[in-house]
Amino acid sequence: MSKIYFFTSLELESFHSILPLMKEFVKRGIEVECYSFDVFRQDFEEAGIAYYSLDSYIEKEREKNQAISTIINNLTITKNCIRDLEKKIETQLPDYIVVDQNTYWGKLIAKKYDIPYTAYTINFLINRYTTKYSKNHFVDYIQMALGMSKVGDIVKQIQQLGYIINNPLNFLQVDDDETLVFIFESFQLYAETFGKNFHFVGPMKESISKRIPHAGKNIGIGNADDELKENYIKACEELEIHPVTQLEECDVYISKGKMEEVNDCIQLGIPLILYPQTSSEQAIAQRVVELGVGAMLRSNTVEDIKQTIPFILNNPQYQKRMNELSKESTQIPIEEIIQIIERKD
């Protein structure tokens, strides 16, 4: 392998998960080129990675259903950029492609030019076995049905450009690509049902953090809306518990349930309190409860936060089980991840 292209999405957590792999290929003397977005420009410049911006192809539309909104935006980028990508890539085809699971343009290019590729994802995988963990309200189904009409329209436009997309609903499902999954296998629901093409490599980090010893009980908060953050501060004040901003100092961590934050807490052995807002976050929260490593908030009120924090802190089983899960969870060395890719070269 002498030249490899990466295709990344706009998702910050996903980009930071794949960046160490790009840097490793650069260290090995392999020519790396990335098709990405200007928000990551500084990362590329600091790493010395050649970068092609896709910002001019973005036309952001906001749907009420987050999943549909993401699909529509990614399909729109695909429709807008695919012809220009063809012209650029035809000048020098890579030996291999690594592509974010949600960057449809990268997959379609790889398939058109018969270039071997590996996908990657930081998302909790959903299939027919795991859907019972995702709670969708009736209004979600209505919003999704309305959004799928737009999805179908954009798919038709991409098909008219000569690309085969048989079923728009496929964009709601996990493809059976060779896929690096930056999730601990011990945490993923029904991991064995996703087949041999899915490699649960754990989160990819350039450096591993450790918990910082401290006195008293510290509560931290991560990805959350302003109301939850405000009520968290009030709850901590009333409980006379110290709120902290550094994850490594926490005894309990509150979050919506982003997979990256959950991975970090598993690595550090920190019990969780989750307030999920999307179907995927709901599935993650259900898994946290099922494994006994945290709890879900019934609401984001001060009262519910005040009740839930002592419940986790005063029940040593949560810390015990999180310590056990932390020991069970294995992060695959980057060398093994590269071997997974090179086996398909």
pLDDT tens for residues 74-131? 999 999 999 999 999 999 999 999 999 989 999 999 999 999 999 999 988 877 777 7
Residues 181 and 233 in one domain: no
19 backbone dihedrals φ, ψ, rounded to 5°: -55, -45
Residues 58 and 161 in one domain: yes
pLDDT of residue 37: 96
pLDDT of residue 1: 65
pLDDT of residue 223: 86
> Which structural domain, as residue segments, surrounds residue 298?
218-328
Residues 230 and 136 in one domain: no
Structure tokens at 235: 């709850």
Q: Nearest Cα to 271, choosing from 311, 322, 334?
A: 322
Q: Specify the number of domains making up the chain.
A: 2
pLDDT of residue 137: 46
Residues 304 and 245 in one domain: yes
pLDDT below 50 — which residues of the chain?
137-139, 141-142, 345
Residues 100 and 181 in one domain: yes
Residues 122 and 249 in one domain: no
- Quick check: is 207 in a domain? no
Residues 197 and 142 in one domain: yes
DSSP state of 40: G
pLDDT of residue 205: 77
Give me the helix-helix angle, 259-268 and 316-328, nearest 10°.
100
- Quick check: is 212 in a domain? no
The residue written with tokens 């085969």 in the block is 164
Residues 227 and 268 in one domain: yes
Residues 36 and 110 in one domain: yes
> Computed from CA positions of residues 180, 250, 228, 320, in that sequence, does the dihedral angle turn out positive or negative?
positive
Residues 49 and 198 in one domain: yes
CATH number of the domain that residue 44 is part of: 3.40.50.2000
- Quick check: is 283 in a domain? yes
pLDDT tens for residues 110-121? 999 999 999 999
Q: Nearest Cα to 35, choosing from 44, 47, 48, 24?
A: 44
CA 250 – CA 252 distance, rounded (Å): 5
- Quick check: is 225 in a domain? yes
- Quick check: is 117 in a domain? yes
Residues 192 and 310 in one domain: no
218 backbone dihedrals φ, ψ, rounded to 5°: -110, 140
Residues 336 and 302 in one domain: no
Structure tokens at 251: 């005894």
pLDDT of residue 2: 87
pLDDT of residue 295: 97
- Quick check: is 292 in a domain? yes
- Quick check: is 210 in a domain? no
